[in-house]
Amino acid sequence: MNNKLIDRKFCVAPMMSYTTPYARTLYRILSKKSFLFTEMIATKTMIHSKNINPIIEKENQNPIALQVGGSNLNDLKNCSKIAYSLNYDEINLNVGCPSKAVLKGSFGACLMQNKKLVRECLESMHVNENIQVSLKCRIGIGNQLNYDFFEEFIDEILKSGIKIIYIHARNAILSGISPKLNRSIPPLDYSFVRKIKTKYPNIIFVLNGGIDNLEKALELSNEFDGVMVGRLIQNNPFCLGKVDKMFFNTSNNIGYDEKIIHEYFEYIKPKLKNESIYRLLSPLLQIFFGVPNSKEYKIKVHENMQKNRIDILENLFLKFVNKQNNLQIT
């Protein structure tokens, strides 16, 4: 894969328990161009777990990045080798997650306190020119915004040779608030990313944080090298059907479409032997998000999920899609 040809104008953020292989498959059905991410995977888990394959499975999901968390140089190198062997386009190091769990494991946002170690981590991940190494970070840590700290951090990590940085334009507060509140309480400051982009015009900077609709995403994507969107997709993955036309000027513009339902069910049916129907259908349940009078369908779907009635469930989703299409016509 020639990474120079990959456009990161619209990226779907890595989200724990959400950007599963099943969700990513649905995202790819809806958008052929969006750049996808796995959930963050701890390097130790990736190397030593016997059950890692279902997490990193990525059939037909390119372009896509595998995101890892860790700070052991040898583990990171081995993870890069695994990612390359599985034909990932990119391996991404997370130094932006503020949860207590990652603090204990010496990865995530706490690593921003040791920029030299982060640089060494990134250097260890360069194993093949055909897989890009990238970083996801915040603009700082703690309660006080400090551009000098952010600039010095970027100066150092760029010595590793990376060319792609995804920046959540908030500080990470490492104690006192939850990871969820870390997505809203620390103030957004896009100016930090604008300023560093001016200093390093040849580096790909993708903006993340506070992008809650596609129109705002499109506006910002024209200012930066791309945008990374998380909760908008989590809440309503079906907005991805508009992304290829809006952001990449293709003719692909998918609304409520029976083909989506058919294709997704064909994908999950063989997996029912080994996976929970709830986990398989979880991404598709967001089709009801914000749709008036969808309660009846939700109740029937949950009733039939309890009974593992996959064919009835497929028909319920098809009926719902047809109903929405008829409403749009009238």
pLDDT > 60? residue 330: no
Do 122 and 148 share a domain, yes or no? Answer: yes
With a cut of 50, say whether residue 305 has pLDDT above it: yes
Cα 148 from chain centroid (whole Å): 28
Q: What is the pLDDT of residue 308?
A: 93
Mean pLDDT of 122-133: 96
Give 249-259 pLDDT, tens digit per residue: 998 777 778 99
Judge whether 253 lies within some domain. Answer: no
- Residue carrying the six token digits 């040849």: 202
Q: Look at residue 266 in the predicted model and tell me its pLDDT.
A: 96
Q: Give the count of domains, the chain.
A: 2
- pLDDT score at 1: 44
Structure tokens at 171: 């500080």
Q: Please name the residue that has the structure tokens 């991410």.
A: 37
Contact between residue 12 and residue 36 where contact means Cβ atoms under 8 Å apart: yes
Question: For the segment 255-294, what is each residue's pLDDT rounded down to a tens digit?
Answer: 778 999 999 999 999 999 989 999 999 999 988 888 888 9
pLDDT at 2: 44
Task: Indicate the pairing of strand 41-42 with strand 226-229.
Answer: unpaired
- DSSP state at residue 35: B
Sign of CA pseudo-dihedral 235, 240, 246, 247: positive
Q: Are residue 321 and residue 173 in the same domain, yes or no?
A: no
Average pLDDT over residues 11-24: 94
Cut 0.95: pTM above it: no
In this structure, is residue 231 part of a structural domain? yes
Q: Is 239 a catalytic residue?
A: no
If asked whether residues 183 and 242 sit together in one domain, one would say yes
pLDDT at 136 over 80: yes
Same structural domain for residues 189 and 264?
no
pLDDT value at residue 103: 61
Q: Identify the pLDDT of residue 191.
A: 98
> Which ranges constitute the DSSP H helices of 243-294?
243-248, 258-268, 277-281
Domain end position, chosen among 215, 248, 281: 248
Please give the average per-residue pLDDT across 71-76, as a whole number.
96
Residue 110 domain-assigned (yes or no): yes
Give the tokens for residue 98: 């503020």
pLDDT digits (tens, 9 = 90+) for 146-175: 999 999 999 999 999 999 999 999 998 888
Are the C-beta atoms of residues 134 and 228 closer than 8 Å to each other?
no
Number of separate helices (H) and strands (E) present in the chain: 15, 9
Tens of pLDDT, residue by residue over 197-207, are 999 999 999 99
Kindly report each contact of residues 141-145 with a partner whose C-beta sits within 8 Å and lies 24 or more positions away, as own/partner: 141/109, 141/110, 141/112, 141/113, 141/171, 141/172, 141/173, 141/174, 142/171, 142/173, 142/174, 143/171, 143/173, 143/186, 144/171, 145/171, 145/187, 145/189, 145/192
168-199 pLDDT tens trace: 999 988 887 787 888 888 889 999 999 999 99
Domain of 215, CATH number, reads: 3.20.20.70
Give the N- to C-terminal CA distance of the chain in Å, as an integer: 45
Q: Is residue 50 domain-shared with residue 114, that is, in the same domain?
A: yes
Same domain, 82 and 45: yes
pLDDT surpassing 60 at residue 227: yes
**CA–CA separation, 245 and 253 (whole Å):** 6
What's the Rg (C-alpha) of the chain? 20
- Does residue 100 sit in the same domain as residue 52? yes
Distance CA 235, CA 171 (A): 24
Using DSSP's 3-state secondary structure scheme, residue 206 falls into strand
- pLDDT of residue 9 exceeding 80, the answer is yes
* 324 and 222 both lie in a single domain: no
Are 177 and 297 contained in the same domain? no
Angle at 99 between CA 173 and CA 179, to 5 degrees: 65
Angle at 159 between CA 66 and CA 91, to 5 degrees: 5
Task: Determine the pLDDT at residue 140.
Answer: 95
Indicate if 167 and 47 belong to the same structural domain. Answer: yes
Last residue of a domain, one of 220, 248, 276: 248
Q: What is the pLDDT of residue 176?
A: 78
Count other C-beta atoms under 10 Å from residue 149's C-beta: 18
User: Domain range spanning residue 113?
Assistant: 3-248
Q: List CB contacts of 284: < 8 A, sequence separation 6 or more.
A: 26, 261, 264, 317
Q: Which of 193, 186, 232 is nearest to 13 (CA)?
A: 232
Give yes or no for a contact between 276 and 58, defined as CB atoms under 8 angstroms apart. no
Q: Does 153 share its domain with 47? A: yes
The identity of residue 108, as a single letter, is G
Residue 94's pLDDT is 96
Residue 105 has pLDDT above 70, yes or no: no
d(CA 166, CA 42): 19
In this structure, the answer to whether residues 11 and 157 fall within a common structural domain is: yes
* Stretch 83-105: mean pLDDT: 85
Catalytic site residue from 11, 79, 97, 110: 97
Residue 136, C-beta contacts closer than 8 angstroms, at least 6 positions apart = 14, 67, 92, 93, 94, 95, 96, 165, 166, 167, 168, 208
Using a pLDDT cut of 90, give the percent of the chain over it. 74
Q: Evaluate if residue 51 carries a pLDDT over 80.
A: no
